[in-house]
Protein backbone atom coordinates (compact mmCIF):
# COMPACT_ATOMS: atom_id res chain seq x y z
CA UNK A 1 0.00 0.00 0.00
CA UNK A 2 1.49 3.30 -1.08
CA UNK A 3 1.74 6.20 1.35
CA UNK A 4 1.04 9.92 0.82
CA UNK A 5 4.01 11.90 -0.45
CA UNK A 6 4.41 13.58 2.91
CA UNK A 7 1.90 12.90 5.66
CA UNK A 8 2.88 16.18 7.32
CA UNK A 9 1.57 18.17 4.37
CA UNK A 10 -2.13 18.85 4.10
CA UNK A 11 -3.87 18.73 0.77
CA UNK A 12 -4.00 22.55 0.67
CA UNK A 13 -0.22 22.77 0.63
CA UNK A 14 -0.11 20.66 -2.54
CA UNK A 15 -2.71 22.61 -4.51
CA UNK A 16 0.02 23.88 -6.84
CA UNK A 17 0.82 20.38 -8.13
CA UNK A 18 -2.28 19.91 -10.35
CA UNK A 19 -1.75 23.41 -11.77
CA UNK A 20 1.87 22.62 -12.63
CA UNK A 21 0.81 19.27 -14.10
CA UNK A 22 -1.85 20.90 -16.30
CA UNK A 23 0.51 23.60 -17.61
CA UNK A 24 3.30 21.04 -18.10
CA UNK A 25 1.05 18.81 -20.17
CA UNK A 26 -0.05 21.76 -22.33
CA UNK A 27 3.54 22.86 -22.93
CA UNK A 28 4.77 19.36 -23.77
CA UNK A 29 1.75 18.77 -26.03
CA UNK A 30 2.52 21.95 -27.99
CA UNK A 31 -0.54 23.91 -26.91
CA UNK A 32 1.96 26.50 -25.74
CA UNK A 33 4.90 26.52 -28.14
CA UNK A 34 8.34 27.78 -27.09
CA UNK A 35 8.10 31.56 -26.82
CA UNK A 36 4.31 31.62 -26.29
CA UNK A 37 3.09 33.71 -23.39
CA UNK A 38 1.31 31.82 -20.63
CA UNK A 39 -1.83 33.13 -18.92
CA UNK A 40 -1.22 35.88 -16.37
CA UNK A 41 -1.14 35.25 -12.66
CA UNK A 42 -4.59 36.83 -12.33
CA UNK A 43 -5.98 34.58 -15.06
CA UNK A 44 -4.51 31.46 -13.47
CA UNK A 45 -5.83 32.43 -10.03
CA UNK A 46 -9.30 32.81 -11.49
CA UNK A 47 -9.08 29.63 -13.57
CA UNK A 48 -7.97 27.38 -10.71
CA UNK A 49 -9.52 29.22 -7.80
CA UNK A 50 -6.28 29.46 -5.83
CA UNK A 51 -4.11 32.15 -4.29
CA UNK A 52 -1.33 34.02 -6.02
CA UNK A 53 1.22 32.20 -3.88
CA UNK A 54 -0.09 28.82 -5.09
CA UNK A 55 0.14 29.95 -8.73
CA UNK A 56 3.67 31.24 -8.15
CA UNK A 57 4.70 27.92 -6.59
CA UNK A 58 3.40 26.04 -9.65
CA UNK A 59 5.24 28.35 -12.05
CA UNK A 60 8.45 28.16 -10.03
CA UNK A 61 8.29 24.37 -10.28
CA UNK A 62 8.06 24.59 -14.08
CA UNK A 63 10.89 27.13 -14.16
CA UNK A 64 13.03 24.66 -12.25
CA UNK A 65 12.25 22.06 -14.93
CA UNK A 66 13.29 24.49 -17.66
CA UNK A 67 9.79 24.62 -19.19
CA UNK A 68 8.96 28.22 -18.26
CA UNK A 69 10.96 31.44 -18.27
CA UNK A 70 10.16 34.84 -16.77
CA UNK A 71 10.58 37.99 -18.85
CA UNK A 72 10.51 40.98 -16.49
CA UNK A 73 7.60 43.25 -17.23
CA UNK A 74 6.17 40.85 -19.82
CA UNK A 75 5.12 37.71 -17.97
CA UNK A 76 5.70 33.96 -18.15
CA UNK A 77 6.66 32.23 -21.39
CA UNK A 78 6.90 28.60 -22.45
CA UNK A 79 10.29 27.09 -23.27
CA UNK A 80 11.32 23.96 -25.12
CA UNK A 81 11.81 20.90 -22.91
CA UNK A 82 15.45 20.40 -21.77
CA UNK A 83 17.36 18.28 -24.23
CA UNK A 84 19.65 15.30 -23.95
CA UNK A 85 22.19 15.32 -26.76
CA UNK A 86 23.54 12.08 -28.23
CA UNK A 87 27.17 12.59 -29.19
CA UNK A 88 28.13 11.12 -32.58
CA UNK A 89 30.97 8.63 -32.80
CA UNK A 90 32.10 9.78 -36.24
CA UNK A 91 33.90 13.09 -36.70
CA UNK A 92 32.17 15.82 -38.66
CA UNK A 93 28.65 14.58 -38.01
CA UNK A 94 25.98 16.58 -36.22
CA UNK A 95 24.79 15.68 -32.71
CA UNK A 96 21.24 14.37 -32.52
CA UNK A 97 19.14 16.09 -29.86
CA UNK A 98 16.34 14.07 -28.34
CA UNK A 99 13.93 14.67 -25.47
CA UNK A 100 15.14 13.34 -22.13
CA UNK A 101 11.74 11.65 -21.80
CA UNK A 102 12.28 9.53 -24.92
CA UNK A 103 14.26 6.32 -25.34
CA UNK A 104 17.44 8.45 -25.51
CA UNK A 105 17.54 8.23 -29.29
CA UNK A 106 18.19 4.48 -29.26
CA UNK A 107 17.57 2.53 -32.46
CA UNK A 108 16.52 -0.64 -30.60
CA UNK A 109 14.95 -1.07 -27.17
CA UNK A 110 14.57 -4.51 -25.58
CA UNK A 111 12.12 -4.62 -22.66
CA UNK A 112 11.72 -7.34 -20.05
CA UNK A 113 9.18 -7.42 -17.20
CA UNK A 114 9.47 -9.20 -13.86
CA UNK A 115 8.18 -8.99 -10.29
CA UNK A 116 10.25 -8.50 -7.16
CA UNK A 117 10.13 -7.06 -3.66
CA UNK A 118 11.34 -3.53 -2.90
CA UNK A 119 14.83 -3.22 -1.47
CA UNK A 120 15.40 -0.61 1.24
CA UNK A 121 16.57 1.90 -1.38
CA UNK A 122 13.68 1.34 -3.80
CA UNK A 123 11.19 1.36 -0.92
CA UNK A 124 12.52 4.73 0.24
CA UNK A 125 12.24 6.18 -3.26
CA UNK A 126 8.73 4.80 -3.77
CA UNK A 127 7.71 5.70 -0.19
CA UNK A 128 6.50 2.16 0.53
CA UNK A 129 7.57 -0.43 3.06
CA UNK A 130 10.66 -2.55 2.41
CA UNK A 131 9.58 -5.88 0.93
CA UNK A 132 6.52 -4.43 -0.84
CA UNK A 133 5.84 -6.25 -4.12
CA UNK A 134 6.95 -4.20 -7.12
CA UNK A 135 6.84 -4.43 -10.88
CA UNK A 136 10.27 -4.14 -12.50
CA UNK A 137 10.59 -3.07 -16.15
CA UNK A 138 14.11 -3.39 -17.55
CA UNK A 139 15.10 -1.83 -20.86
CA UNK A 140 18.33 -2.24 -22.81
CA UNK A 141 18.87 0.49 -25.42
CA UNK A 142 21.10 -0.04 -28.44
CA UNK A 143 22.43 2.14 -31.25
CA UNK A 144 24.45 0.71 -34.13
CA UNK A 145 24.44 -2.70 -32.37
CA UNK A 146 26.07 -1.14 -29.31
CA UNK A 147 24.36 -0.97 -25.91
CA UNK A 148 24.39 2.72 -24.92
CA UNK A 149 21.92 2.91 -22.01
CA UNK A 150 20.20 0.76 -19.40
CA UNK A 151 16.95 1.66 -17.66
CA UNK A 152 15.21 -0.10 -14.79
CA UNK A 153 11.79 1.12 -13.64
CA UNK A 154 10.03 0.18 -10.40
CA UNK A 155 6.29 0.52 -9.71
CA UNK A 156 4.20 -0.62 -6.72
CA UNK A 157 2.08 -3.58 -7.84
CA UNK A 158 -0.82 -2.01 -6.00
CA UNK A 159 -0.93 0.38 -8.98
CA UNK A 160 -0.04 -1.99 -11.83
CA UNK A 161 -1.51 -5.40 -10.98
CA UNK A 162 -3.55 -6.70 -13.91
CA UNK A 163 -2.89 -3.63 -16.09
CA UNK A 164 -1.14 -3.09 -19.42
CA UNK A 165 1.84 -1.66 -17.52
CA UNK A 166 2.79 -5.23 -16.68
CA UNK A 167 3.15 -6.00 -20.41
CA UNK A 168 6.29 -5.36 -22.45
CA UNK A 169 4.22 -3.24 -24.86
CA UNK A 170 2.25 -0.62 -22.93
CA UNK A 171 0.65 0.90 -26.03
CA UNK A 172 0.54 4.46 -27.32
CA UNK A 173 2.24 6.95 -25.02
CA UNK A 174 4.03 4.29 -22.99
CA UNK A 175 3.78 3.94 -19.22
CA UNK A 176 3.06 7.65 -18.69
CA UNK A 177 -0.08 7.51 -20.83
CA UNK A 178 -1.09 4.17 -19.30
CA UNK A 179 -0.89 5.64 -15.79
CA UNK A 180 -3.07 8.58 -16.85
CA UNK A 181 -5.65 6.25 -18.40
CA UNK A 182 -5.76 4.33 -15.13
CA UNK A 183 -6.52 7.50 -13.18
CA UNK A 184 -2.98 8.27 -12.00
CA UNK A 185 -1.94 11.50 -13.77
CA UNK A 186 1.68 12.54 -13.35
CA UNK A 187 2.18 15.91 -11.70
CA UNK A 188 5.96 16.06 -11.40
CA UNK A 189 9.26 14.34 -12.23
CA UNK A 190 12.29 14.89 -10.00
CA UNK A 191 15.70 13.80 -11.32
CA UNK A 192 19.06 13.29 -9.67
CA UNK A 193 22.11 13.01 -11.93
CA UNK A 194 25.52 11.69 -10.88
CA UNK A 195 28.55 10.28 -12.68
CA UNK A 196 30.75 7.31 -11.85
CA UNK A 197 32.32 4.06 -13.01
CA UNK A 198 30.11 1.23 -14.24
CA UNK A 199 29.74 -1.78 -11.96
CA UNK A 200 30.71 -5.28 -13.10
CA UNK A 201 27.04 -6.10 -13.68
CA UNK A 202 26.64 -2.98 -15.83
CA UNK A 203 29.84 -3.79 -17.76
CA UNK A 204 28.35 -7.16 -18.71
CA UNK A 205 25.15 -5.44 -19.83
CA UNK A 206 27.14 -2.97 -21.93
CA UNK A 207 29.29 -5.86 -23.25
CA UNK A 208 32.51 -4.02 -22.37
CA UNK A 209 35.77 -5.36 -20.97
CA UNK A 210 36.94 -2.13 -19.34
CA UNK A 211 34.69 -0.23 -16.90
CA UNK A 212 33.32 2.89 -18.64
CA UNK A 213 32.36 6.22 -17.08
CA UNK A 214 28.58 6.53 -16.91
CA UNK A 215 25.88 9.02 -16.05
CA UNK A 216 23.35 7.77 -13.49
CA UNK A 217 19.92 9.35 -13.61
CA UNK A 218 17.32 8.60 -10.93
CA UNK A 219 13.92 9.94 -11.96
CA UNK A 220 11.12 9.83 -9.37
CA UNK A 221 7.61 10.28 -10.75
CA UNK A 222 4.96 11.85 -8.52
CA UNK A 223 1.20 11.66 -8.76
CA UNK A 224 -1.24 13.88 -6.90
CA UNK A 225 -0.81 11.99 -3.62
CA UNK A 226 1.66 9.16 -4.18
CA UNK A 227 4.97 8.33 -5.79
CA UNK A 228 3.93 6.45 -8.93
CA UNK A 229 7.30 5.02 -9.91
CA UNK A 230 11.05 5.41 -10.06
CA UNK A 231 13.45 4.77 -12.91
CA UNK A 232 17.21 4.25 -12.71
CA UNK A 233 18.99 5.08 -15.98
CA UNK A 234 22.65 4.33 -16.70
CA UNK A 235 24.11 6.05 -19.79
CA UNK A 236 27.56 5.76 -21.37
CA UNK A 237 29.17 9.13 -20.66
CA UNK A 238 31.14 9.20 -23.92
CA UNK A 239 27.95 8.86 -25.95
CA UNK A 240 25.77 11.46 -24.27
CA UNK A 241 25.83 14.97 -22.93
CA UNK A 242 23.19 16.16 -20.48
CA UNK A 243 22.06 19.72 -21.10
CA UNK A 244 19.94 21.69 -18.63
CA UNK A 245 18.59 25.21 -18.98
CA UNK A 246 18.27 27.11 -15.72
CA UNK A 247 16.14 30.17 -14.98
CA UNK A 248 17.90 33.49 -14.42
CA UNK A 249 17.16 33.23 -10.70
CA UNK A 250 19.48 30.22 -10.53
CA UNK A 251 22.54 32.29 -11.52
CA UNK A 252 25.33 32.29 -8.93
CA UNK A 253 27.41 35.42 -8.59
CA UNK A 254 31.13 35.06 -8.30
CA UNK A 255 32.37 35.77 -4.78
Residue 28: give its domain's CATH number: 1.10.10.10
Residue 106 belongs to domain spanning: 83-242
**Same domain assignment for residues 209 and 98:** yes
User: Which region, left, alpha or beta, applies to residue 75 given φ > 0 means left and ψ of -120 to 50 means alpha?
Assistant: left
Top-confidence residue, 133 or 109? 133
On the 0-12 / 13-18 / 19+ scale of CB atoms within 10 A, 12 is: exposed
The arithmetic mean of pLDDT across residues 69-92, rounded, is 68
Could you give the C-alpha distances from 113 to 1, 122, 124, 135, 160, in angstroms and in order? Answer: 21, 17, 22, 7, 12
Please tell me the predicted confidence (pLDDT) of residue 123.
Answer: 95
Q: What is the pLDDT of residues 215-245, one digit of tens each?
A: 898 999 988 888 999 999 999 887 776 666 5
**Same domain assignment for residues 177 and 163:** yes
- Using 50, 70 and 90 to split pLDDT, how confident is the model at 251? very low
pLDDT at residue 66 above 90? no
* CA distance from start to end of the chain: 48
The arithmetic mean of pLDDT across residues 131-155, rounded, is 92
DSSP 172: T
Query: Phi, psi (5° rounding) for residue 63?
Result: -65, -40
Task: State how far the Cα of 217 lies from the Cα of 124, in Å rounded to an integer.
Answer: 16
**Same domain assignment for residues 111 and 32:** no
Is residue 209 one of the residues assigned to a domain? yes
Is residue 247 one of the residues assigned to a domain? no
Dihedral angle computed from the Cα positions of residues 151, 157, 159 and 163, in that order, rounded to the nearest 10 degrees: 80
The arithmetic mean of pLDDT across residues 127-153, rounded, is 92
Asked whether the beta carbons of 131 and 115 are under 8 A apart, the reply is no
**Same domain assignment for residues 88 and 62:** no
- Using 50, 70 and 90 to split pLDDT, how confident is the model at 102? very low
Top-confidence residue, 41 or 145? 41
Could you tell me what percent of the chain has a pLDDT over 70? 79
Lowest mean per-residue pLDDT among 47-51, 137-141, 150-154, 174-178: 174-178
pTM: 0.61
pLDDT at residue 255 above 50? no
The arithmetic mean of pLDDT across residues 77-81, rounded, is 81
Top-confidence residue, 90 or 151? 151
Please tell me the predicted confidence (pLDDT) of residue 233.
Answer: 92
CATH assignment at residue 127: 3.40.1410.10
**Same domain assignment for residues 189 and 235:** yes
**Same domain assignment for residues 163 and 136:** yes
The per-residue pLDDT of the chain, averaged, comes to 80
Is residue 2 one of the residues assigned to a domain? no
Pairing of strands 96-99, 108-117: unpaired
Please tell me the predicted confidence (pLDDT) of residue 178.
Answer: 87
Could you give the C-alpha distances from 90 to 4, 14, 86, 87, 219, in angstroms and in order? Answer: 48, 48, 12, 9, 30
Q: What is the pLDDT of residues 187-221, one digit of tens each?
A: 888 888 888 899 999 999 999 888 888 889 899 99
pLDDT at residue 33 above 50? yes
Please tell me the predicted confidence (pLDDT) of residue 190.
Answer: 86
Amino acid sequence: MTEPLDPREGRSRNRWRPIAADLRQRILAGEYSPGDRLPSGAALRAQYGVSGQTVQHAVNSLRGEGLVEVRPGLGWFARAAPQMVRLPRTSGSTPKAVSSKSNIGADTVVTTVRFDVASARIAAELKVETGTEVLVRERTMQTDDEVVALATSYFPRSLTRGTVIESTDTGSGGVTAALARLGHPIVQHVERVTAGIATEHEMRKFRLLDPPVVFRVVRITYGERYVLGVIHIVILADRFELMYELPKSADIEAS
